[in-house]
Amino acid sequence: MNTPNKNLTPPTGPAAESRITAALEQKPEPQIPPDFAARIAARATAQPLRRRRYKPQFGRTIALLSAPIAALALFALAPHTAPNLKSLSFDTEVVLLAELAFIGWWIARTLNPQKSH
């Protein structure tokens, strides 16, 4: 079992300070083997190239599928809708119109990203 060092004070005096300063100022010399570059080049060519992973675009597909569904719902609600804010069918039709407008804006923005600013 190790006994703890009870003398935790560092040595003092000009000799101790000069040894500490010399140890701190000494820079380690890097040691690079002469065949280091060749080994790295051999490893780089040995590894197969990674294929870029395809990231599916679900947002555009969902938007393109939900736009006709919202339009069909609008046509189904149209005969039952009276312009009254207390009517559930009118409120639903307003929400569907807003949804269609947002989907149209989003699709236009994603198809032409340079013109969306």
How many independent structural domains does the chain possess? 1
In a domain, 66, yes or no: yes
80-93: pLDDT as tens digits: 777 777 778 788 88
Asked if residue 101 belongs to a domain, the reply is yes
When pLDDT is cut at 50, 70 and 90, the band that residue 66 belongs to is confident
What's the pLDDT at 116? Answer: 46
pLDDT per residue over 4-48, tens digit each? 656 667 667 778 888 888 888 888 888 888 899 888 888 877 667
Full-model pTM: 0.43
Phi, psi at 35, each rounded to 5°: -100, 20
Over the chain, what is the mean pLDDT? 79
At 68, the pLDDT band (50, 70, 90 cuts) reads: confident
pLDDT for the residue 2: 59
Residue 102 covered by a domain: yes
**Range of the structural domain that residue 79 is part of:** 58-115
Could you give phi then psi for residue 11, rounded to 5 degrees?
-65, 145
**Which segment of 42-46, 64-68, 106-110 scores lowest on mean pLDDT?**
42-46
Domain assignment present for residue 80? The answer is yes
- Taking every pair of Cα atoms in the chain, the longest distance, rounded to a whole number of angstroms, is 100
- HSE of 45, CA atoms in CB hemisphere, 13 A: 5
**90 lies in some domain:** yes
In a domain, 7, yes or no: no
